[in-house]
Every structure is written in structure tokens, then in C-alpha cells.
Amino acid sequence: MIASDRRGLDSEVLLLNRFYMPMQVISARQAFTLLCRESAEVIDVDHGHFYNYSFENWQELSLLRAEENLVTNWIHSPRQIIEVPQVLRLIDYDQIPKTTVRFNRKNLYLRDNRQCQYCGKQLNFSQMSLDHIQPRSKGGATSWENIVCSCTKCNTKKGCRTPKEAHMQLLSQPAKPHPFHSLNLTPSNQNLEAWLPFLKHQLESA
């Protein structure tokens, strides 16, 4: 039987390729599967320093930290307690992450934070409609910079007019998202310190 704290196996873990470049965010459940298969190692970030651990060594460190009450996110069986890692590095995977984000409905939905860009209403994916800011009838392009998510009500209200003509205000200026936006690389408060050293380099080089 496996037990855990409130986050446990549903926690988010940043997955890196062998060059320490962010690939995606996975669940702790997936992370432990990779560790058991010896396909990955734990990268522990402590006061700006990186430490690499095999699964066996990570289990030993977890026991020591548990004895000192330093483990805040864990899983355990009747025989052992294991700290949930925040960052994993694939040992042999050397492919480079994609540097472009595909232009499609899903990524527009993610870019616009799942909300209508006119009224701010939260939208389910099936509720979302796409609005050309500069209408196609007036030469508007189908591009990152000219399309936003909107609710049906706002889209209908705006019609074939510009926001200015319709007296409507955009919540934000649309732009092409960062390449890592679609990978959901947005650390929670618990993960921020551990993830930031890896995300910072990618953000600065974009």
C-alpha cells in the first residue's frame, strides 16, 4: 500500500533532457516510473547548487531527510518513505525541445489563459470561439497577433468590426507565445526555487 501527503503522486515534476533543457512537466507517478526503470535521475537544487542522484541514492537521502523532518512532499509504503523529487533528468534522451509553438486552437486557448479576451469569462475548450481582431473582411490575418479567444456573446457583439469600432477593450495584446508555453512550464510556489534555474536560461534565450 502506498500513502502520500496531499500532493504526493499528483505533484508536478519538471523533466529535463540529458542537456538539462526543460522538456515537459510530468506527474510524480510518471517520475517514479522513470526512476524505477533507471531512465532518469533526480536533480536536487539546494541553495543554487545542483546534485544528481540515482533512485537508490535518492531513497537513502529521503530517509535521512525524513529523520530530520525535512521532507515536505512524500510517498511511503510500510517499509520506506521517499521524497517526491521536483526535477528529473533523462539520462540518455538528447533530443532538443521544439523552439516553436504550433498555431492551433489548443495553444491559443492556453495562451489566453482559458478566458475571453474581452469580458474575462472563463471558458471550457468547447465554449471557446476565435475572433479576428482586425476582421478578415478588412484584411485581417489569421495569426497569433490578430486572433484571440472570446465567448460567443462577445464575438457576436463585436461582429465584423474592430474592437475600437465596437467600443470593446482587449484584456491583453495578443502575441506569439514563448516556445515553452505549450509545455505548461509554469512552476507552482513549491517548485519555483527548484525549477527557475532551468527555466530562466530558456526564457532569456527566447
Report pLDDT digits (tens) over 102-139. Answer: 899 988 998 898 899 999 999 998 999 999 999 999 99
For cell 515536505, the residue is 72
Supply 28's cell numbers: 510524480
CA dihedral 43, 8, 98, 96 (to 10 degrees): 30
**Gap between the Cα atoms of 142 and 157, Å rounded:** 20
Task: Give the right CATH number for 105-166 from 1.20.120.520, 3.40.30.10, 1.10.30.50, 3.40.50.20.
Answer: 1.10.30.50
Specify the pLDDT at position 189.
63
**Gap between the Cα atoms of 156 and 26, Å rounded:** 39
Specify the pLDDT at position 71.
74
Cβ(75)–Cβ(2) below 8 Å? yes
Q: Does an H or E element contain 53, and which? A: strand 49-53
- What percent of the chain has pLDDT above 70? 86
Ranges of each domain in the chain: 12-96+180-204, 105-166
